[in-house]
Chains A and B, each alone.
Chain A
Amino acid sequence: MSGLDKRAANALIWLLLLTMPYWIGWIGGYTSLGSRVLVLALAAMSLNFLLGFTGVLSFGHAAYFGLGAYGAGMTIKYLLPSTPLGILVGVLVGTVAAGVVGALIVRLRGVYFAMVTIAFGQVFYFIAYRWNSVTGGDDGLSGWKRMPLDLGSAHVDILNDDKAFYFLVLICFAVAVGIMAALLRSPFGRTLLAIRENERRARFLGIPIERHIWLSWVISCLFVSLSGALYALLNNFSDPHNLHWSQSGDFVIMAVLGGMRSFWGPLIGAAIFVVLQDYLSSLTDNWQSFIGLFFVLVVLFFPRGVLGMIRRRAGP
């Protein structure tokens, strides 16, 4: 894809995202659906920073997603009813946890790495479940809501105004995505790609592999916990399922569905996954069969994901 095409595609995507609340009604959607797509797209893209660009599969990213969610919710409920503080605490908690876990697991590779991320994820899940005096346990963390933003002169009611909240999510998304894109273009990002392509060769070149993987892991989990915090704000709710391995599985599916090897792939994957499920489950109780069939077909015929298929059509 030539540089001009790429810039055109980027421009188109940003244009669509900026105007989403206005056109989503025409296709039978609603603004909060768009917010949900964006939040989960951010999670999938964060995962893909590790999976698609560093070549490391994590099946436990939901743990940091959930920590971000609980961090935001518990801050607003118990500490201070402030949305920015909630987001900050959520990101901090998720990132610190990821930093610690990452240090413990960075030696592992392949399926071992994936399984140990599941193990840690399930431990966090159990803690969220058991520590019910603080987290609400299975009933979830309720009784709080996202607080309107007080920016001195302007008062943005992100609680009652769906569009306002969507744009807050979009701003966070843009910042996160911008940083990730910049990192991937930088020498650091090139090193990650080298590790993905051939780790042994990279090691022979003297690259400190473990440190790079740890950094990639932490960056990835930082943005996933941001998306978790936003998810909690979207629902005014957080519950242990946010940390379960099945939630992690959803992120992996979105990334692969859309195209692991492309930057915007997971966004497309998240959009398809969320909208398709929303649409199908309204039509029929047998939506699981259709979604399952969809996965099977994508894996068999479009292994590079939806975006990969579009790219191939567009030419070399």
Chain B
Amino acid sequence: MRKIAGSLTWGPAFRVEALARGGRNLRMTQLILFNVFNGLIIGAFYALMALGLSLILNLSGVINFAHGGFLAIGAYLAFALIPHIGFWGALLVAPFLTAAIGLVVERFLIRRLYGRDPLYSLLLTFGLAFIFEDGTRYIWGPQTLPFTVPDWLNRPLSDQYFFLTGYRLFMVLLVVAVVVGLFLILNRTRLGMRIRAGTGDLETVSTLGVNVRILRTLNFGLGIFLAGLAGVLAAGMLGLQPTIGSTLIMPSFVAIIVGGLGSLPGTLLGGLLIGVASGVTGVFFPSASEAVIYVMMALVLMVRPQGLFGEEGRIQ
């Protein structure tokens, strides 16, 4: 208990200390604000991963527990490509390669599970996650690999904006671009329209003559593309080793639940919310910053189970 007390009471004491030494005069409100900012950025990253998961879940009713594994594959592929086509080339190519692997997985494995209890997709992808973790360890080894990002991203924005780094800003801009792109695809293209329709009522869409099989495959590929992209981004911030995706999978599910099953804007918001919650908790109760998202999820589920934007009766 002493440790908890310790991290809670440093507030007033250090402020005086810092002021006395002419150090940075940081009030509690400023600190919270900075952490809200960073929380939004990390939340954007969670949202990216959760969006891919949500796409797959909404249309096909498949719980993709291998999403973290696809993230790792994206990261490793980028690492392999960087010496040949540079960071920006790898950023572009790796997600597509990962999506290609996703398409193969969908065609031969996931496709057989449509119409069945989501529990089976959960178990199959659980097994797949094992295979991916072991596979990446077998190919690249258990050691952490040094993943380099361009130098000019590797520093804080400025002295004034010392709490934002170039890399994080780049990350959030990229996620914004991707979300806008996703929105455009879903609302302005025929594929997107079919996906949205299929999410509502796949049977009717099928009777209207749409090739549901190809639709599901492309949708899965799109979701995995997002996972691969998240992987490249993660490798810039975290150590690259086979378990890089495994701690990120559960927060993605939490984001989906908090935002509401079946709603992509909800997933986006859910991701941002858990990022901010995590960041702000880091100020007051740092050791709980990972656990707080579960408290949030429990509260949401007990008070408003369908989440912020979810529809009642979705995926029972």
Contact = CB atoms under 8 A, between A and B. Distances in A.
Interface stretch (B8-16, B82-90, B133-141): B133-141
Interface in B250-297: 250, 253-254, 257, 261, 287-288, 290-291, 294-295, 297
Nearest to A104: B302
Contacts of B127: 291-296, 299
Given A286-B138, A289-B131, A299-B113, A115 B126 contact: no
Contacts of A110: 315-316
A31 to B, nearest CB: 28
Interface size class of B (residues with CB under 8 A): 35 or more
A11 interface: no
A282 interface: no
A296 B128 contact: yes
A118 B134 contact: no
Contacts, number: 109
Most chain B Cβ neighbours within 10 Å, of A252, A292, A294, A296: A292
B123 interface: yes
B153 interface: no
B178 interface: no
A130 interface: yes
Contacts of B288: 126, 130
B315 A111 contact: yes
B20 interface: no
Given A57-B119, A110-B315, A119 B109 contact: no
B30 to A, nearest CB: 28
B315 A289 contact: no
21 contacts: A112-B257, A115-B254, A115-B297, A118-B294, A122-B291, A123-B291, A123-B298, A252-B123, A253-B123, A253-B126, A256-B123, A286-B134, A289-B135, A291-B130, A292-B126, A292-B129, A292-B131, A293-B131, A296-B131, A298-B123, A303-B120
Interface of B: 1, 4, 63, 109, 112-113, 116, 118-120, 123-124, 126-131, 133-135, 138, 250, 253-254, 257, 261, 287-288, 290-291, 294-295, 297-298, 301-302, 305, 315-316
